[in-house]
Amino acid sequence: MSNRSQLPEPGSPEDWLRFAKSDLALSRMVNTPDVLLETLCFHAQQATEKSIKAVLVFCGIPFERTHNIKSLIEKLPPEYALPNGLAAAALTEYAVAMRYPGEREIIEIEEYHAVIAVAQSVYDWAAGIVLAK
């Protein structure tokens, strides 16, 4: 376990990124028995959402408690525009529908890989802003 004194300030942009990175790591557990691709896509969505929220906190922009990635993207200032905003916004559907059976069709591996690629690119974008300071 990491040294608690080395942890970022709770609620700081770095803290949001820490949680995003954890969700991203969980989303990559594709070869784990009994873990559904739907669950992994949920964690990819969470990584995307938390990455965007890290940038909003970095910019001092308040946001509501939401899983709606598009509404979060719309709050970003132009100088921090998300390059793949439309692709990222599409991940919103994985926030709720993926967590319960019968809400949506089963996810295929190609869709999973596409979702992971978007989540990774959003995390990299956010880390480039927050950690470059």
Q: Any idea what the CATH number is for the domain that residue 118 is in?
A: 1.20.120.330
What tokens appear for 108 in the block?
A: 């295929």
Q: Is 63 helix (H, G, I), strand (E, B) or coil?
A: coil
pLDDT digits (tens, 9 = 90+) for 53-101: 999 999 999 999 999 999 999 999 999 999 878 899 999 999 987 777 7
- Tell me the C-alpha to C-alpha distance, in Å, between residue 126 and each of 48, 50, 107, 132: 9, 9, 27, 10
pLDDT of residue 1: 47
Q: Number of structural domains, the chain?
A: 1
Domain residues for 63? 10-130
Residue 3 included in any domain = no
Residue 79 included in any domain = yes
Residue 1 included in any domain = no
The candidate with the shortest Cα–Cα distance to 118, out of 63, 64, 49, 65, is 49
Residue 52 included in any domain = yes
Residue 107 included in any domain = yes
State whether the Cα torsion 127-129-130-132 is positive or negative: positive
pLDDT digits (tens, 9 = 90+) for 12-61: 999 999 999 999 999 999 999 999 999 999 999 999 999 999 999 999 99
